[in-house]
Structure 1
């Protein structure tokens, strides 16, 4: 059964405000929020774009609040939290159900009593476009009950959708126009807008009004609902009946974005400009973290429409930063967009199961990755197959094509079929939009190799290699707003994870042509570690172990600091850094042997050179890191205060890497002790 929450969860604010949804477009843009529809982070919004001509990632549309009139009663479906803690409105109280449909959020609101109707809202983004779609349609309560019984077995069926609008009008006795239909509702949408960096607040001002160009349809023009802003921002687009919208600029010269509504020709669709600020929205997650937490949003206008429960009475909202000439205002095409987006998500799963052909050393071949069988999920409503599906779809969210910083084009050897203005990266998370190199390299086998995205893995490894400097990789990759600085080359282990990721790639694809291309980077890296490189990172000639020692800095993954002082500096020889160092030396020995045997271009280093280093490193690792009094490994040795016997999970890397510096007996001892003392239901 897919992820589904019923009213017992949906109408509990504590449950819904802490559950977040995310949809992405594959190029760094996204939409995100909570099930309760409360924006709890500055980064929450309906359209967040990462465009090559923008100085930073921009949040353009924050949310859409819905007001519904049905059966002579008004319902407020949005939920907002304000600076003083007030919730107004509190529309989550009408939320009957929430589910993910191939990863896309679907909200169902109940209107009226037991014989009322259901308003369904779904949100998606097409791959490769800075556009978010929000679609509304009606269900009867009986349709909804029938549908909920089918979740997990068949697709949702809506009996009312089998009727066309003409049939609906005829069956309900309205020969010309469905306005008097008993199941019709009036929908008013409030698209709250912004124009700010996605992680920073927006402060409104009564002297600052967004520039709004209305694109009215023939029905609005006939009724006199015209835009009074003139055509300072370009001529308005003539809209067909059933389509309306506007183009918005926050100020002169700002990048424009647009909001369009596409409905049935008889839906009385209109856009009414307002131009007012809504003040002091609270972002509780930022408040708890001590960050700026108050945000102001701008309402450029309201969208009004009629809806009734028929298959072609659908209202689709487009929030987009794309060129208007590229947009389709045909409802059938918009429905196909959603179907294509769902099909792409299904293909992600099916492609993992089917063998994938690729070109590696020796020509074309095929590879059928071995997938471990999943144990029963802790949530009994999720089957192992469904759990795997969710993992694969979630993994896809973090693989994006990212615009290159100015002056940093893709190298000439890039595949000609890919954009010369972007490169594939693995995002660490969508709320920072940073590419942390260590995180990406650790995640690469699971996100790209297990899912058979071998070409993307290859391109990621090639692209990241371009940032080697004095044998090190930076902690993060550059972005349009943040070029690299010297301090970004500030960790001892990040580069060693590159050896780990490349090894997994080679084991899976046997693409040793890539190894030949990257080999000079690997040789230089080992040489720099051995002879000494930035930040006091250097192999100790006395024992062959890697030392990291720079006062005032933390050079491992534990980078937290208080007032600029590292909370865990770990100066000396950290256990996981040396486990990674031994693994890298062992891999270099193996790869150099392969080069000799395969007749590749000779290099100055012989396999025996790395074998000698690896053997010496292993001997001293076992001798010096073993804490006999505890039956585990020291966390750091040769620190300013001697050896640190803190019992930490870092030592697991000495067990889990392909080449372990520990013998089997000591590996077992460490594993059993960590399982006994550090393993919790929430991890280590």
Structure 2
């Protein structure tokens, strides 16, 4: 079986506290839920949590369990193995006992205190709003010891924080010998935690004003209150190696969570088997990729590529669509990004096609089709109310491009004709007719749109930071690419009249584009041409899309000049700058509060995705 990629931090590296507080790990469950924290186990974001569950997958994500705090008892001495940050500093500093952190692909912490070694491994079963923590304790001394584990609950939406004095949540618990069930009235949720090989002792208290340094730096809410319902206790005799586990499940309906809890492991053996199954699933995924890409395997079978391929799995999630049937969607980014139509179809070739996940690709097309409005793909689907927003000119065009890429990998014209073709034609026809708000095909055959409808869509003080109203360069490139794709499909499906119509539209767009968008002074393309035909000479990366798509309106000479300009002005080792450094509006640092970050978001910030399409 193929060995999974591995990262390890130990020795002197573990003393670099400030550096390690910036190193984060993430485990996902295929539902939009996740577990995440830092190498030192200190939650620095309100989005960190041991069990962040998607109550309506992949949406409505709640930080149910913030973390587990472990304490080791040796005789009459207590040694905290945990750490939390408050405005006055970090207390206690349990990471002083941390001797190793590793991830492969699940995080593992190893602590050492005198003759006792404690390791804990965190994983999530696929397609379950559950987290399991496996513990192994090696007691090298002769005396018995105890491990106390304190669960800390938040049970809040992941964008919010808890202030128990201003808006007190009502927690109630039911407990058994090795299990506790916690219910919250608002927002309604249930959490069940069960110990395998341990006992539960109720002892309610609150941990108040936990400080999230990353949120403070971002100008977001940064203080949180956590509810501790009690403690799980595990005894280990002298000269013994002992294993135990904690199983955590969360959801909105109490009866549903209780049913899910019954499906979880009841012995350490069961928990380890479930862990092994998750490892094997990831191994098979990687093996399949390398088997289908033997040339790559021979050249560059390195950990970095295995990490990259493995990471694709985190963004593909099960999703309920409008008819409540099981669909597939794409989480645009962790921790807080939602389902974005544009992001889904920009990334679909890399996330699904390259790694051979064609069934998930088909289901993603169908999910977004169900949310479409007369063929128009939504810009995003809200995490809170699950309502789609249609304020994007290019999400539909990226959708069509993703269909083209799907066909290049699969040749599955039957699926496209049967399920997608009519809605794709409808979208193009409605763009030509000007049915959609703030989007229409102009008399010159190019797409005209309002200022905040491209991917550079940030607004500060009610105004677009990067206003690109008129005809944005990448929108025209995508429009032409879509028209040529539709022409190709119409000919394949023997719809000659439709093919000729799309061909005429494409030719008109190409002629107008070449007349209006070339900047002789810059030897590149204008970023936007406004309604009056005036071109914006800002050197931005959007023009590279006009070169990279299958169908391009540029000849080879101009394509080469565009690539040279982008390479010279915008290329970095991590992606493309969103604005040339020579531009007076350039902002080279993305940090600070939301306003500061938004001003820099598309005015210099480097974006890796622009290297790919």
Q: What is the TM-score of this pair, normalised by structure 2?
A: 0.86
Deviation, structure 1 residue 208? 6.1
> Rg bigger for which structure?
1
Hey, which of these two has a bigger chunk of strand by percent? 2
- Structure 1 residue 682 corresponds to structure 2 residue 586: no
> Structure 1 residue aligned with 2:467, among 564, 569, 592?
569
- Structure 1 residue 97 corresponds to structure 2 residue 100: yes
The equivalent residue for 1:362 is none
The equivalent residue for 2:159 is 199
Counterparts of residues 599-618 of structure 1 (less than 5 Å): 602=495, 605-618=497-510
The equivalent residue for 2:175 is 214
- Using the alignment, how far apart are the partners of 1:80 and 1:374 within structure 2? 46
Counterparts of residues 234-253 of structure 1 (less than 5 Å): 244-251=178-185
Deviation, structure 1 residue 556? 0.8
Deviation, structure 1 residue 139? 5.0
Is contact 1:280–1:296 with CA below 8 Å preserved after alignment?
A: yes
> Structure 2 residue aligned with 1:403, among 320, 332, 337?
320
- Using the alignment, how far apart are the partners of 2:532 and 2:153 within structure 1? 54
The equivalent residue for 2:120 is 121
Deviation, structure 1 residue 594? 0.8
Q: Describe the superposition over 1:30-85 as per-residue Cα deviations: whole angstroms up to 9, x where unpaired.
A: 11111111111112111111224999322211111111134765321111111x23
> Structure 2 residue aligned with 1:106, among 101, 108, 111?
108
Deviation, structure 1 residue 539? 1.7
- Using the alignment, how far apart are the partners of 1:208 and 1:52 within structure 2? 21
The equivalent residue for 1:133 is 132
Number of aligned positions between the proteins? 562
Deviation, structure 1 residue 664? 0.8
Deviation, structure 1 residue 470? 3.9
The equivalent residue for 2:203 is 274
- Using the alignment, how far apart are the partners of 2:409 and 2:570 within structure 1? 32
Is contact 2:33–2:58 with CA below 8 Å preserved after alignment?
A: no
SS across alignment from 2:553: coil
Compared with structure 1, are the counterparts of its residues 371 and 563 closer, same or farther at alpha carbon in structure 2 (3 Å cutoff)? farther
> Structure 1 residue aligned with 2:89, among 86, 97, 104?
86
The equivalent residue for 2:413 is 512
Counterparts of residues 461-480 of structure 1 (less than 5 Å): 461-477=365-381
- Structure 1 residue 12 corresponds to structure 2 residue 11: no
- Structure 1 residue 46 corresponds to structure 2 residue 50: yes
- Using the alignment, how far apart are the partners of 1:326 and 1:445 within structure 2? 35
Pairwise CA RMSD: 2.5
Counterparts of residues 140-179 of structure 1 (less than 5 Å): none
SS across alignment from 1:50: strand
Counterparts of residues 515-554 of structure 1 (less than 5 Å): 515-517=416-418, 518-541=420-443, 543-548=444-449, 550=450, 553-554=451-452
The equivalent residue for 1:299 is 228
> Structure 1 residue aligned with 2:309, among 361, 367, 392?
392
> Structure 1 residue aligned with 2:363, among 459, 482, 485?
459
Deviation, structure 1 residue 301? 0.4
SS across alignment from 1:504: helix
556-565 or 9-18: which moved more? Answer: 9-18
Deviation, structure 1 residue 7? 3.0
Compared with structure 1, are the counterparts of its residues 12 and 308 closer, same or farther at alpha carbon in structure 2 (3 Å cutoff)? farther
Is contact 2:208–2:225 with CA below 8 Å preserved after alignment?
A: yes
Is contact 2:136–2:242 with CA below 8 Å preserved after alignment?
A: yes
- Using the alignment, how far apart are the partners of 2:336 and 2:52 within structure 1? 12
SS across alignment from 2:454: coil
Deviation, structure 1 residue 672? 1.4
Deviation, structure 1 residue 307? 3.2
Compared with structure 1, are the counterparts of its residues 209 and 527 closer, same or farther at alpha carbon in structure 2 (3 Å cutoff)? closer
SS across alignment from 2:134: strand
Deviation, structure 1 residue 429? 2.0
Q: Describe the superposition over 1:145-198 as per-residue Cα deviations: whole angstroms up to 9, x where unpaired.
A: xxxxxxxxxxxxxxxxxxxxxxxxxxx9xxxxxxxx527532111111122112
- Using the alignment, how far apart are the partners of 1:119 and 1:460 within structure 2? 43
Compared with structure 1, are the counterparts of its residues 341 and 309 closer, same or farther at alpha carbon in structure 2 (3 Å cutoff)? farther
SS across alignment from 1:60: strand
SS across alignment from 1:474: coil
Deviation, structure 1 residue 681? 2.7
Consecutive unaligned residues in structure 2, runs of 5 or more: 251-256, 577-613
- Using the alignment, how far apart are the partners of 2:486 and 2:283 within structure 1? 39
- Using the alignment, how far apart are the partners of 1:588 and 1:403 within structure 2? 29
Is contact 1:27–1:400 with CA below 8 Å preserved after alignment?
A: yes
The equivalent residue for 1:348 is 285
Deviation, structure 1 residue 252? 9.3
429-438 or 270-279: which moved more? Answer: 429-438
- Using the alignment, how far apart are the partners of 1:648 and 1:27 within structure 2? 36
Q: What is the TM-score of this pair, normalised by structure 1?
A: 0.78
- Structure 1 residue 448 corresponds to structure 2 residue 352: yes
The equivalent residue for 2:523 is 631
Compared with structure 1, are the counterparts of its residues 183 and 344 closer, same or farther at alpha carbon in structure 2 (3 Å cutoff)? farther
